[in-house]
Chain A
């Protein structure tokens, strides 16, 4: 139900992978002497810093440069870690008024989600369910999580979701619900609606 930073992770990992790959290839080329022929880099084993390393790294501009680079990298890493927190990314209130209407029509996505959940919970074998609507009223994005017990017919449940639940939501919003995800969990719990079941039978005397 919650969204993670999958795309962000893939992007940053790709960037870091390319950087490391470029660095590795450069080291290989330098080690084989090819880079020295092409870019006139120092020879393998030659000293590029004259004198000791300590005085070289003690230069003020170099300290400031390392500090700035360190802070930037640290902030980016922190933002990347924060982005890992799963988020619901709930939709804002749906605006449903028609063009030229003399007034606004609004509906909170949770209102629609509640009625969808209410309907699904009455299906045979469904123990619990939750729904989350994202996107806009014109492009709704529905995520469903349905928990069923071992008495549920999962195929029949999926057929019902396709033929009834999604269709009714499309009817209510007057637009097809193209983006939809269904997660089905199995639980050992019993179905309990908290209501009395009506039965219509024949009394035999």
Chain B
């Protein structure tokens, strides 16, 4: 678009026609939402982590380990900082489980998008037990 960039491209083309042709194909722009959804899906795939589902405008939502947690991302160039609002299974060791989740998100986001993930801040918003889906009812023996 700018004259300087155009000049640089024509010079590169003369030196290396193959590289020049690749550059000429265009840019790939990654929106924040893409990174957010990928990170959210990666977190949601973990057995001990989940998000919330149901409700209307956030009212009446309930904990659901099978749904995707809420993720927000700050992109700065090729570096990203993620904030994950996640629910966990209780009584999982929270430090270890969140550290594993952090590493998993970092690795997968970097692998799938090429964006360098510097920080993954995790907020544990709710905890649920394995039998919570059953409504916590008592069993008569």
Q: Which residues of A contact B (CB under 8 A)?
A: 96-98, 101-108, 111-112, 114-115, 118-119, 121-122, 124, 168-169, 171-174, 193, 195-201
Contact = CB atoms under 8 A, between A and B. Distances in A.
User: Which 9 pairs of residues, A with B, have the shortest CB-CB distance?
Assistant: A168-B91, A107-B124, A115-B127, A103-B120, A195-B135, A199-B140, A103-B119, A105-B98, A195-B137
B102 A193 contact: no
Contact of A174 (B96, B123, B134, B135): B96
Given A103-B119, A103-B121, A193-B136, A114 B127 contact: yes
Contacts of B137: 122, 193, 195-198
B87 to A, nearest CB: 9
B122 interface: yes
B129 A106 contact: no
Contact of B120 (A102, A108, A114, A193): A102
A172 B129 contact: no
Contacts of A122: 136-138
Given A174-B93, A199-B140, A201-B140, 12 more contacts: A96-B94, A97-B95, A101-B99, A105-B95, A105-B102, A106-B124, A107-B123, A111-B127, A124-B138, A168-B90, A172-B92, A196-B135
A193 B91 CA distance: 22
A115 B119 contact: no
9 contacts: A102-B106, A105-B99, A106-B124, A115-B90, A118-B129, A171-B93, A172-B94, A174-B95, A196-B135
Contact of A111 (B120, B124, B135): B124
Contacts, number: 103
Contacts of B132: 118
A160 B103 CA distance: 35
B75 to A, nearest CB: 16
A105 B136 contact: no
A197 B136 contact: no
A197 B127 CA distance: 23
Interface in B66-84: 82
B94 A102 contact: no
Contacts of A115: 90, 126-129
Nearest to A196: B137
A64 to B, nearest CB: 57
B139 A197 contact: yes
B39 to A, nearest CB: 12
A42 B93 CA distance: 74
Contacts of B125: 111
B90 A172 contact: yes
Contacts of B119: 102-104
A196 B134 CA distance: 10
Contacts of A96: 94-95, 98, 124
B120 A118 contact: no
Contact of A121 (B122, B127, B136): B136
A106 B122 contact: yes
Nearest to B87: A111
